[in-house]
């Protein structure tokens, strides 16, 4: 069927785990010395030669069902054309390529404080044959480069990257230096120009800086990274859904209003009943702030969204939820915490085979900092955790089974530090727990 993968990786653990109240905490020791962002003259940030040469090329899905593609790029000398010429490739020596076609797009620019963007082009190509991948908190540090290179060398790749927010931390620089948006666009081009990345926003895309006169949240992101939100009747590019191969993928915004009656709430309330599990057996949700996290950093920051939406995730049998934010790796058991009603005191997560597995995968590199401070003892809902950088692959085999693996950067590309078979909650809802408590 399809493959879902990204900049997350687990490697095979051999005698390096410890069992606690919950699952396993890896004993792998990674050097904790903080690295830094790569300097602006790094070769991975190089500007392509030639007058007005396109740069920062990236693609994402351009419609609901996966037959469209948004192609985006930047020119710096002059606007140029927003047209994309394309054709179907015919395999075989004697077969000719298909008829060449042209799609016309549009060009936008923006200003952010004292920065002026290049000419940003977005063109949608329709009626293609395409298919899906996953990652988060990449950044543009030396560790980020290792993660992207490690994934590029992997013998197993998906067809689409699911990215769970925090692109590259321009807001860590004075005045949210938007030059770092340009360098990150060139840095990731080696992957995102050839595989569609599905975008989720994180807190580092908010770019709300009233002290310098910038009061429109998500301004740089919304100009640079377009998504097909209108195809799923969303009113905002910050939350939307797509269908990729045999998966229905829902993207949520942790940093937009999500309470009852809010636009995101109303959209999700209408979207979940539309999911056709005969057409797309697997239901996957992306967000930035994790709901189940046993690291002290960002602990319980996703609670306001969890208490509103978690019951829906059980009702509609979500298979897996991917989040970032925490700069480490963790996989949960299938658990829920929906019984609490203020007076009954039932506020502890319980094992629940109707619930999704929650995977925190904000370990792609960020600005070189890994979260190492875990809560102890390890909670029962936590199946496996490790404070390392890496990437993961979610390989959908059929409507009932998917194979998931995580690979840490320090290991060989074919090694798996964490791995598990997923059983579909709708078509094969049997116990797939890895820890019994």
CB atoms within 10 A of CB 391: 32
User: Are 133 and 161 a contacting pair, CB within 8 Å?
Assistant: yes
Of the residues 288, 298, 325, 391, which is catalytic?
298
Q: What is the dihedral of CA 222, 225, 231, 235, to 10 degrees?
A: -10
N-terminal to C-terminal alpha carbon distance within the chain: 33
- Rg value, the chain, Cα: 21
Cα separation, 75 vs 21, in Å, equals 55
Specify whether 298 is catalytic: yes
Distances from the Cα of 215 to the Cα of 113, 176, 181, 209, angstroms: 11, 13, 18, 6
Q: What is the dihedral of CA 286, 435, 352, 289, to 10 degrees?
A: -30
Distances from the Cα of 411 to the Cα of 30, 43, 150, 183, 394, angstroms: 11, 25, 9, 28, 19
Check whether the bond before 97 is cis (ω within 30° of 0): no
Strands 24-26 and 382-386, sheet pairing: parallel
Pick from 335, 330, 332: nearest CA to 385: 330
Residue positions annotated with a catalytic role: 298
């Amino acid at each position: 069927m399809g493959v879902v993968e990204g900049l997350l990786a687990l490697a095979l653990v051999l005698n390096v785990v410890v069992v606690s109240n919950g699952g396993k905490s890896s004993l792998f020791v990674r050097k904790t010395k903080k690295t830094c962002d790569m300097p602006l003259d790094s070769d991975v940030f190089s500007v392509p030669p030639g007058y007005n040469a396109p740069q920062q090329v990236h693609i994402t899905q351009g419609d609901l069902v996966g037959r469209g593609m948004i192609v985006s790029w930047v020119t710096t000398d002059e606007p140029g054309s927003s047209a994309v010429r394309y054709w179907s490739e015919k395999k075989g020596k004697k077969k000719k390529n298909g008829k060449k076609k042209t799609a016309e797009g549009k060009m936008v620019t923006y200003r952010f404080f004292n920065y002026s963007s290049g000419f940003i082009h977005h063109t949608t190509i329709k009626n293609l044959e395409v298919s899906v991948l996953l990652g988060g908190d990449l950044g543009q540090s030396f560790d980020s480069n290792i993660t992207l290179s490690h994934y590029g060398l992997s013998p197993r790749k998906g067809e689409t990257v699911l990215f769970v927010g925090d692109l590259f931390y321009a807001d860590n620089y004075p005045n949210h230096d938007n030059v770092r948006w340009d360098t990150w666009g060139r840095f990731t081009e080696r992957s995102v120009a050839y595989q569609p990345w599905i975008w989720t926003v994180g807190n580092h895309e908010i770019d709300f800086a009233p002290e310098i006169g910038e009061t429109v949240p998500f301004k740089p992101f919304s100009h640079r990274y377009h998504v097909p939100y209108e195809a799923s009747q969303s009113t905002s590019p910050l939350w939307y859904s797509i269908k990729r191969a045999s998966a229905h993928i829902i993207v949520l915004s942790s940093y937009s209003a999500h309470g009852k009656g809010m636009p995101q709430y109303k959209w999700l309330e209408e979207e979940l009943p539309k999911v056709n599990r005969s057409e797309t057996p697997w239901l996957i949700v992306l967000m930035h702030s994790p709901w189940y996290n046993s690291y002290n950093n960002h602990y319980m920051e996703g609670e306001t969204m969890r208490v509103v939406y978690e019951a829906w995730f059980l009702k509609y049998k979500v298979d897996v939820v991917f989040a970032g934010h925490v700069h480490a790796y963790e996989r949960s058991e299938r658990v829920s915490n929906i019984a609490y009603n203020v007076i009954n005191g039932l506020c502890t997560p319980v094992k629940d085979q109707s619930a999704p597995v929650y995977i925190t995968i904000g370990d792609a590199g960020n600005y070189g900092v890994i979260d190492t401070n875990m809560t102890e003892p390890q909670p029962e809902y936590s199946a496996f955790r490790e404070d390392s950088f890496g990437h993961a692959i979610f390989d959908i085999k059929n409507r009932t089974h998917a194979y998931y693996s995580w690979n840490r950067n320090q290991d060989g590309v074919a090694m798996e530090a964490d791995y598990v078979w997923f059983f579909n909650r709708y078509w094969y809802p049997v116990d797939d727990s890895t820890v019994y408590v």
